[in-house]
Amino acid sequence: MAKVLTSKEENYSQWYNDLVIKADLAENSAVRGCMVIKPYGYAIWEKMQSVLDGMFKATGHQNAYFPLFIPKSFFSKEAAHVEGFAKECAVVTHYRLKNDEKNGGIIVDPDAKLEEELIVRPTSETIIWHTYKNWIQSYRDLPLLINQWANVVRWEMRTRLFLRTTEFLWQEGHTAHATEQEAIDETDLMIHTYAEFAEEYMAMPVIMGSKSETERFAGAIDTLCIEALMQDGKALQAGTSHFLGQNFAKAFDVQFANKEGKLEHVWATSWGVSTRLMGALVMAHSDDNGLVLPPKLAPIQVVIIPIYRGEDQLPMISKTANRIKKELEAKGISVKYDDRDTHKPGWKFAEYELKGVPVRIAIGPRDLENNSVELARRDTLSKSVIKQEGLDVFVENLLSEIQENIYKKAFDFRAQNTHTVDTWDEFKDIIENKGGFVSAHWDGTSETEQLIKKLTKATVRLIPLDNKKEEGKCVFSGNKSEQRVIFAKAY
Amino acid sequence: MAKVLTSKEENYSQWYNDLVIKADLAENSAVRGCMVIKPYGYAIWEKMQSVLDGMFKATGHQNAYFPLFIPKSFFSKEAAHVEGFAKECAVVTHYRLKNDEKNGGIIVDPDAKLEEELIVRPTSETIIWHTYKNWIQSYRDLPLLINQWANVVRWEMRTRLFLRTTEFLWQEGHTAHATEQEAIDETDLMIHTYAEFAEEYMAMPVIMGSKSETERFAGAIDTLCIEALMQDGKALQAGTSHFLGQNFAKAFDVQFANKEGKLEHVWATSWGVSTRLMGALVMAHSDDNGLVLPPKLAPIQVVIIPIYRGEDQLPMISKTANRIKKELEAKGISVKYDDRDTHKPGWKFAEYELKGVPVRIAIGPRDLENNSVELARRDTLSKSVIKQEGLDVFVENLLSEIQENIYKKAFDFRAQNTHTVDTWDEFKDIIENKGGFVSAHWDGTSETEQLIKKLTKATVRLIPLDNKKEEGKCVFSGNKSEQRVIFAKAY
């Protein structure tokens, strides 16, 4: 079969686009910047959702649902939020269409203009804190630990499937606490939850840390994030958790009576991950043959393909294949038996490689004779002949091994592409020619950060949590620095 | 505790509104017609989603996600759809806000006007069939069995929590088939799936049938529905499944090459249920004390409440309570042990009655002595003392019994409130004074249907599936009729 993907080497960006489309993950829609998430892509997203939702609930959170629309005036209430947050929003101005009597078709009814425009939520802090005002009176109402699964819209000028789209799907947690420390702990808990998800399920190593002031969420006191390294040496921010202080509580006048009956403003956090994780998953592991999915998130973990000549061989093979399928399913493994006669085995092999199915089992007449199967791993592309007896246990262990191996590969890649740098020349050279994470001293000023960005396109990705304090000189300004931070070019 | 609800007798509509708000299901938001679904309400919706999603997948459907926005011109493509479908839509005309230099705050940037307005989806047939054009080339691509969980917006003038809101959550299935019969069978399968869900899980008996022409979905050849009877004698349409013929395939030019290589237009269905089901669930079973939830959809199936005087009694009670909790959870039963010291037992009793928790277990010092508990059923409000030994099996069986009993009660209510009527006077009398379903002959014309509606507010709810053919005379016009249909006033 001809290669269906541009190679990574040739054009990483094109490789990514090809892969997302060819592997049936998503495609561009008729609406600028909005994507259609196709069934195979959506099945992966559902697995992500299911795991994350379980983690949120295990840490005491409940789901709820808030309106899609936010009155325009709400955005003006928190000064930093309105100043810093992207104003590229979808604005609803009318509520009715009518027939166009002159030209046919339909037009917007000019008589149905809204008194106040509504914004399609780009994030929900404002509408949620407006709501919390009525939910919170006393310390007994706290903490309030709420999450929402929703679609949001940010009018992006340059979009890329999953990585940056006008509409995307996400979850946004919004919690309210009686004390500052409790809110800080929550912010910390959730970034650790995201890190655990990224590493354990996506097999994607991440660094946790704080954003610099310029990269902080508009309205936050502190923004924690997880950053992963993609195969092209660029960083990707995969999740954020914000400590919002009392900013939104003050903006929306949310106070509670403490145990002594005194009124205090509530402390807040918000945190989110989105369908951007799909892009991270693709870019962290995949190769020129297609997706490489970690078994824990693969919609199909094992595919079985019959190899036969002539219709009469198929029934015997199917009997064995279906038995094996049942045995694997009894272990909680998801299996597809693809006995379609419309496609040849070679085509199917390439197809499931493209789709990143972790394990492929092929069964032909000779396998029936030998009570064996041919088994191929997607991560290493290696093949071996395995006895049918005990195959279920073998595959179960193999899936764990693949999960670990994918993680290890990404971990080693990151180790090889993380550079400790002490001079500006070296900094520029690595950022320009090698990419990856650069650990360097920074004087902590936004001014330096902006200049570095202007000159190299690299930004401070994060100041790692529990960062080692180490006296040094800023790699750019030469000014005093108390710690190294992580720089990289980023998605 | 004082009654927190208006009684049903006094004002059914007010009782409903009180209940939805007081039981923490939902509330009105700052945005006209849009609701906030609160955690307890959302937990019930999540249970509904989970069951329905499993049913859809078991019948071969896959989930996907299509854009929130639909270009205005798409609505004009299917003539009946644009003509018949509500034009009360949210219209996005601009994509940017900017600071208001003069007055402060933010304004819509007049320079950021969209060339073509976007409609926030009221339903997704148009954008989905536009997409299907690229997905369907050959009979091998069919059937295409896709479902989407999404939010939709219809600008309603008069809204009521869950029953009719501007934004609501739903699922919409959109399937494509090679033959007419296959699409008809799919339409039928899905209405049966909805009926099974309503009866088995919501404990709500429904009638399946066809809508009359005037009540049909705009663009459909046939609309099947399920209708349930609420406690005030009004009907509620709880789900619909549409046979769309080739209408959308023709409008969006979706053709496939059949086995002979000839091009044909694809056959379509669409089907949906929404958060309206939450309203149905509330109205089908609840009473003046609050919600009555069927155990299969109750977020908390059993609540355990300790009865104690003085702090020293609590540890012993808690020990027993936690043991019982574990035993019940081992049976897959969801249990809450409410040992909060901020509220008295009487308050908790009322609270969980209000929230419809099916089984309440109270444990006091005397129960510890006697190895017993006090157990109360929410459906009958009856109490009994039960031995702790074997309590898990007892409760497991009791939950099934409650599920059945709630269904039976609703079934009997419907039986008592379904009237077979042959004269116009009787028809008017029952509709005006008693309510309920009225089975009557109808001449099949839209004209008669409209006149009946005008005079009595009753509409043809449905023509039941597999309806008995029976010659008769239309209850209104006296013209020939070949079958009885079901009339009622409706939500």
Statement: residue A180 has pLDDT above 50: yes
**Res A197: pLDDT:** 98
Of B76, B92, B150, the CB nearest to A90: B92
Chain segment B354-411, per-residue pLDDT in tens:
999 999 999 999 999 999 999 999 999 999 999 999 999 999 999 999 999 999 999 9
Statement: residue B83 has pLDDT above 80: no
Using only C-alpha atoms, chain B has a radius of gyration, in whole angstroms, of 26
State how far the Cα of B431 lies from the Cα of A220, in Å rounded to an integer: 59
End-to-end CA gap in chain A: 32
> What's the gap in Å between the CA of B103 and the closest CA on chain A?
12
| 83-122 in chain A: CB under 8 A from chain B | 87-98, 104-106, 108-109, 117-120
Angle between helices B39-58 and B276-285 (to 10 degrees): 110
> What's the gap in Å between the CA of B452 and the closest CA on chain A?
29
A157's tokens? 């000028």
Q: Which of B69, B144, B157, B343 is best to mutate for the A interface (most A CBs within 10 A)?
A: B69
**Res A93: pLDDT:** 97
CATH of domain B418-488: 3.30.110.30
Share of chain B above pLDDT 90, in %: 92
- Report chain B residues whose CB lies below 8 A from the CB of A63: 39, 42-43, 46
Residue A412 has a CB neighbour count (10 Å cut-off) of 11
Cβ distance B253 to B218 under 8 Å?
A: no
Cβ distance B35 to B28 under 8 Å?
A: yes
- Report chain A residues whose CB lies below 8 A from the CB of B98: 87
Of B29, B91, B146, the CB nearest to A95: B91
Statement: residue A1 has pLDDT above 70: no
Of B42, B67, B117, the CB nearest to A34: B67
- Report chain A residues whose CB lies below 8 A from the CB of B88: 95-96
- Report chain B residues whose CB lies below 8 A from the CB of A97: 72, 75, 87, 89, 91, 119
| HSE-up of residue A129 (Cα within 13 Å, Cβ side) | 30
| HSE-up of residue B456 (Cα within 13 Å, Cβ side) | 27
Average pLDDT over every residue of A180-208: 98
User: Which residue of A lies nearest to B63 if distances are taken between CA atoms?
Assistant: A39
> What's the gap in Å between the CA of A31 and the closest CA on chain B?
7
Average pLDDT over every residue of B179-199: 98
**Res A145: pLDDT:** 98
CATH of domain A12-285: 3.30.930.10
- The C-alpha angle with vertex A339 and arms to A333 and A341, in degrees rounded to 5, equals 160
In 3D space, the residue among B242, B249, B290 whose CA is nearest the CA of residue B3 turns out to be B290
Domain A295-405: homologous superfamily in CATH: Anticodon-binding domain (3.40.50.800)
| 141-160 in chain B: CB under 8 A from chain A | 146, 150-151, 153, 155
Statement: residue B292 has pLDDT above 60: yes
DSSP, collapsed to helix, strand or coil, labels residue A55 as helix
> What's the gap in Å between the CA of A470 and the closest CA on chain B?
43
Cβ distance A409 to A381 under 8 Å?
A: no
Cis-peptide into B143, omega within 30 deg: yes
Whether the CB of A136 is below 8 Å from some CB of chain B: the reply is no
A278's tokens? 């799909």
State how far the Cα of A403 lies from the Cα of A202, in Å rounded to an integer: 9
Chain segment B191-241, per-residue pLDDT in tens:
999 999 999 999 999 999 999 999 999 899 999 999 999 999 999 999 999
Residue A429 has a CB neighbour count (10 Å cut-off) of 13
CATH of domain B300-397: 3.40.50.800
Model confidence at A468, pLDDT cuts 50, 70, 90, reads very high
Q: What is the ipTM of this complex?
A: 0.96
- Report chain A residues whose CB lies below 8 A from the CB of B355: none
State how far the Cα of B350 lies from the Cα of B452, in Å rounded to an integer: 44
Model confidence at B76, pLDDT cuts 50, 70, 90, reads confident
Chain segment A109-148, per-residue pLDDT in tens:
999 999 999 999 999 999 999 999 999 999 999 999 999 9
Cβ distance B458 to B452 under 8 Å?
A: yes
Of A65, A70, A97, the CB nearest to B87: A97
Q: What is the largest CA-CA distance in chain B?
A: 83
**Res A17: pLDDT:** 97
Statement: residue B288 has pLDDT above 70: yes
Q: What is the largest CA-CA distance in chain A?
A: 83
Judge: B106–A71 Cβ closer than 8 Å, yes or no. Answer: no
State how far the Cα of B364 lies from the Cα of B367, in Å rounded to an integer: 5
Statement: residue B48 has pLDDT above 50: yes
Statement: residue B279 has pLDDT above 70: yes
Cβ distance B229 to B437 under 8 Å?
A: yes
Residue A163 has a CB neighbour count (10 Å cut-off) of 19
Residue B468 DSSP symbol: P
Min mean pLDDT across A234-248, A324-338, B62-76, B101-115 is at B101-115
Q: Which amino acid is at B29?
A: S
**Res A171: pLDDT:** 98
| HSE-up of residue B483 (Cα within 13 Å, Cβ side) | 17
Chain segment A63-113, per-residue pLDDT in tens:
999 999 999 999 888 777 777 776 899 999 999 999 888 887 889 999 999
Q: Which of A47, A53, A68 is best to mutate for the B interface (most B CBs within 10 A)?
A: A68
Contacts of residue A259, defined as CB under 8 A and 6 or more positions apart, other chains included, come to A139
- The C-alpha angle with vertex B489 and arms to B484 and B491, in degrees rounded to 5, equals 125
Judge: A91–B95 Cβ closer than 8 Å, yes or no. Answer: yes
**Res B86: pLDDT:** 63
Fold match between A295-405 and A418-488?
no
Cβ distance A69 to B167 under 8 Å?
A: yes
Judge: A93–B91 Cβ closer than 8 Å, yes or no. Answer: yes
User: Which residue of B lies nearest to A168 if distances are taken between CA atoms?
Assistant: B67
**Res A409: pLDDT:** 98
Whether the CB of A72 is below 8 Å from some CB of chain B: the reply is yes
Of A72, A95, A342, the CB nearest to B88: A95
> What's the gap in Å between the CA of B294 and the closest CA on chain A?
21
State how far the Cα of A186 lies from the Cα of A142, in Å rounded to an integer: 13
Main-chain dihedrals φ then ψ at residue A212, nearest 5 degrees: -75, 170
Cβ distance A67 to B29 under 8 Å?
A: yes
Chain segment B248-261, per-residue pLDDT in tens:
999 999 999 999 99
State how far the Cα of B300 lies from the Cα of B336, in Å rounded to an integer: 6
- Report chain B residues whose CB lies below 8 A from the CB of A72: 97, 106, 108
Average pLDDT over every residue of B16-38: 97
Model confidence at B102, pLDDT cuts 50, 70, 90, reads confident
Judge: B29–A65 Cβ closer than 8 Å, yes or no. Answer: no
Statement: residue A308 has pLDDT above 50: yes
Cβ distance B105 to B56 under 8 Å?
A: no
Q: Is A366 exposed, middle or buried (0-12, 13-18, 19+ CB in 10 A)?
A: exposed
**Res B2: pLDDT:** 52
Size of interface A-B (CB pairs under 8 A): 184
**Res A99: pLDDT:** 87
- Report chain A residues whose CB lies below 8 A from the CB of B89: 95-97
Of A37, A89, A92, the CB nearest to B90: A92
Chain segment A23-76, per-residue pLDDT in tens:
999 999 999 999 999 999 999 999 999 999 999 999 999 999 999 999 999 988
State how far the Cα of A134 lies from the Cα of A256, in Å rounded to an integer: 11
Residue B213 DSSP symbol: G
State how far the Cα of A139 lies from the Cα of A442, in Å rounded to an integer: 42
**Res A86: pLDDT:** 63
**Token match 């079901």: residue?**
B486
Chain segment B135-170, per-residue pLDDT in tens:
999 999 999 999 999 999 999 889 999 999 999 999
State how far the Cα of B201 lies from the Cα of A466, in Å rounded to an integer: 50
Of B91, B98, B146, the CB nearest to A87: B98
**Token match 């500006």: residue?**
A424
State how far the Cα of A416 lies from the Cα of B399, in Å rounded to an integer: 58
> What's the gap in Å between the CA of B346 and the closest CA on chain A?
19
Judge: B64–A42 Cβ closer than 8 Å, yes or no. Answer: yes
Whether the CB of B74 is below 8 Å from some CB of chain A: the reply is yes
Average pLDDT over every residue of A274-284: 98
Share of chain B above pLDDT 70, in %: 99
**Res A20: pLDDT:** 98
> What's the gap in Å between the CA of B336 and the closest CA on chain A?
13
Per-residue 3-state assignment (H helix, E strand, C coil) for B96-144: CEEECCCCCCEEECCCCEEEEEEEECCCCHHHHHHHHHHHCCEHHHCCE
State how far the Cα of B456 lies from the Cα of B475, in Å rounded to an integer: 13
| 337-366 in chain B: CB under 8 A from chain A | 342
Judge: A118–B91 Cβ closer than 8 Å, yes or no. Answer: no
**Res B262: pLDDT:** 98
**Res B1: pLDDT:** 46
DSSP, collapsed to helix, strand or coil, labels residue B446 as helix
User: Which residue of B lies nearest to A34 if distances are taken between CA atoms?
Assistant: B67
Of B39, B64, B72, the CB nearest to A63: B39
State how far the Cα of A81 lies from the Cα of A216, in Å rounded to an integer: 11
Judge: A91–B92 Cβ closer than 8 Å, yes or no. Answer: yes
CATH of domain B12-91+122-285: 3.30.930.10
Q: Which of B45, B106, B141 is best to mutate for the A interface (most A CBs within 10 A)?
A: B106
Each domain of chain B, given as residue ranges in start order, spans 12-91+122-285, 300-397, 418-488
Contacts of residue A454, defined as CB under 8 A and 6 or more positions apart, other chains included, come to none
Q: Give CA separation, A486 vs A271, A428, A460, B208, in Å.
A: 22, 14, 6, 62
Main-chain dihedrals φ then ψ at residue A320, nearest 5 degrees: -65, -45
Whether the CB of A62 is below 8 Å from some CB of chain B: the reply is yes
> What's the gap in Å between the CA of A66 and the closest CA on chain B?
5
Q: Is A116 exposed, middle or buried (0-12, 13-18, 19+ CB in 10 A)?
A: exposed
Q: Is B208 left (phi over 0), alpha (psi -120 to 50) or beta?
A: beta
Judge: B118–A90 Cβ closer than 8 Å, yes or no. Answer: yes
Judge: B94–A91 Cβ closer than 8 Å, yes or no. Answer: yes
